[in-house]
């Protein structure tokens, strides 16, 4: 009798499960009815043994658990568990979580400014967002969060941890993290703030050489980048734009279309990236327009271990197309596409539906983008005063105006080397490429310099 009851309950759950599958492809009710026959044909062999096990566990909980549990809470917990077990990026979203996800793509919310990822029940920092409480406090890529406000977060799900970290500006939250190389866990107390992410910032480093920083890919990122590029071109109109650095370090990704539009800004036609999964229609090709907004100006892209997802799309496509030299550290390795799928039972789930591939067919998932030139994030120490005094002795041999100009420029570059060694090296690389190009133009016919390109 119990076996018969269990089988009937399993069949009811299976029917409900199949009905819920209609929403996986974002189908409306009418469409679901039209496609019901096809769906049942592809699901002829139901896992009845597993469904019976599920119903047995459900029945035991309803009958024997110490507290009475509502069916809605029980089934939502089952759904969360089922999705969380798939991968680090798939999850169920209730109304509050869905709204917080939307807030993140709009670029303004209350919190501490961390992009997180889940791995084997642990939550680690993908990257702290620029100019936020998290980045100012010194949280780093790879930090593993073990406690929030003194409570263990092992296995509770990444969305719930995000909910604990976000909150009203001015309120405080404490974190305990484990960091590679640290002998003991580290504790941080952070004050929440309105996280207004300015995704694009730019400036001229030295005449002719421009710098663009993209901290995250949002709805307005492409438009902001286009304006920044126009401003930089106008700012360097006298000497012309000789080189550009695109900084994607600690950029955790964001809106897929924004990342594609950023790649498009530096390419002339051809493929940017393509996505492919198991579902019909999951193969989608993204191609560039015919306009390179900086007309082939030499480009260096900076990445590090905190560069993920959309950052890897940009770096991977520009690397594969030989449009840019990639410099820094191997990136994070998140090469999957998540779709937010509304559910009939409400409200949605974030489901990994495809992986993306660079133009040469390379998957970045769990591998990352390997830079052409690897540079660690080092700090330079100040030279001894006796060594620096030799520069001062040479100043009397040059005209005063030239000495002042050169001294100001050298001070600026020295500050850059001290503050951001990787950026300083990228600038030196561009300046070197410009010298090689100039020298090759001076050579007589029949002579050429050794080609300068990406490292094999």
Enumerate the active-site residues.
Answer: 309, 320, 334
The beta-strand segments (E) located in 229-335 are 243-247, 271-276, 284-287, 299-303, 325-328
Contact call for residues 265 and 301 (beta carbons, < 8 A): no
- SS3 of 274, please? strand
Tokens at residue 125, please?
Answer: 């920092």
Distance CA 219, CA 211 (A): 21
Instruction: Give the residues across from 204 on adjacent strands.
Output: 210
The torsion defined by the Cα of 146, 93, 198 and 308, in degrees rounded to 10, comes to 60
Alpha helix segments (H runs only) across 85-220: 95-106, 133-137, 158-165
Considering only CA atoms, which of 327, 333, 325, 326 is closest in space to residue 307?
Answer: 333
222-228: long-range pairs with CB below 8 Å, 24+: 222/257, 222/258, 222/261, 222/262, 222/265, 224/199, 224/200, 225/200, 225/261, 225/262, 225/265, 226/265, 226/293, 228/200, 228/201, 228/202
Instruction: Identify the helix (H) or strand (E) that includes residue 2.
Output: helix 2-21
- The token duo for 175 is 């974190």
Q: List helix spans (H) across 65-132.
A: 71-84, 95-106
Per-residue b or e along 373-394, where b marks 16 or more CB atoms closer than 10 Å to that residue's CB:
eebeeeeeeeeeeeeeeeeeee
């Amino acid at each position: 009798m119990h076996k018969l009851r269990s089988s009937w309950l399993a069949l009811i759950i299976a029917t409900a499960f199949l009905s819920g599958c209609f929403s996986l492809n974002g189908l409306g009710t009418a469409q679901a009815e039209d496609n019901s026959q096809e769906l049942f044909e592809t699901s002829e062999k139901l896992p009845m043994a597993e469904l019976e096990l599920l119903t047995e566990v459900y029945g035991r909980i309803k009958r024997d658990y110490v507290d009475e549990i509502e069916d809605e809470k029980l089934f939502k917990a089952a759904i969360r568990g089922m999705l969380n077990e798939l991968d680090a990026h798939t999850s169920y979203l209730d109304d509050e979580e869905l709204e917080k996800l939307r807030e993140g793509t709009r670029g303004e919310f209350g919190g501490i400014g961390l992009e997180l990822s889940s791995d084997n029940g642990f939550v680690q920092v993908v990257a702290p967002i620029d100019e936020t409480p998290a980045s100012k406090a010194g949280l780093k890529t790879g930090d593993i969060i073990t406690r929030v406000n003194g409570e263990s977060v092992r296995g509770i799900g990444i969305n719930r941890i995000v909910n604990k970290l976000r909150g009203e500006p001015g309120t405080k939250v404490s974190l305990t993290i484990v960091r590679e190389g640290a002998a003991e866990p580290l504790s941080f107390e952070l004050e929440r703030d309105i996280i207004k992410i300015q995704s694009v910032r730019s400036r001229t480093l030295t005449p002719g050489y421009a710098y663009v920083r993209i901290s995250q890919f949002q709805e307005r990122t492409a438009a902001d980048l286009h304006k920044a590029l126009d401003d930089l071109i106008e700012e360097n109109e006298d000497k012309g734009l000789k080189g550009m650095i695109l900084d994607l370090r600690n950029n955790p990704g964001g809106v897929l279309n924004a990342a594609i539009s950023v790649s498009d800004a530096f390419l002339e036609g051809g493929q940017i990236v393509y996505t492919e999964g198991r579902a019909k229609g999951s193969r989608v090709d993204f191609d560039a327009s015919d306009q390179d907004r900086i007309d082939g100006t030499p480009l260096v892209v900076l990445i590090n271990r905190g560069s993920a997802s959309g950052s890897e799309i940009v770096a991977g496509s520009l690397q594969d197309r030989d449009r840019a030299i990639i410099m820094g550290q191997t990136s994070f390795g998140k090469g999957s596409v998540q779709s937010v799928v509304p559910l009939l039972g409400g409200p949605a789930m974030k489901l990994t539906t495809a992986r993306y591939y660079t133009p040469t067919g390379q998957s970045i998932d769990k591998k990352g983008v390997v830079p052409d030139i690897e540079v660690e994030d080092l700090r330079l120490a100040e030279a001894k005063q006796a060594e620096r005094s030799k520069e001062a002795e040479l100043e009397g041999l040059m005209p005063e105006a030239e000495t002042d100009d050169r001294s100001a420029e050298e001070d600026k570059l020295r500050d850059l080397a001290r503050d951001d060694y990787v950026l300083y090296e990228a600038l030196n690389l561009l300046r070197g490429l410009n010298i090689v190009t100039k020298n090759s133009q001076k050579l007589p016919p029949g002579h050429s310099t050794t080609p300068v390109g990406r490292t094999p």
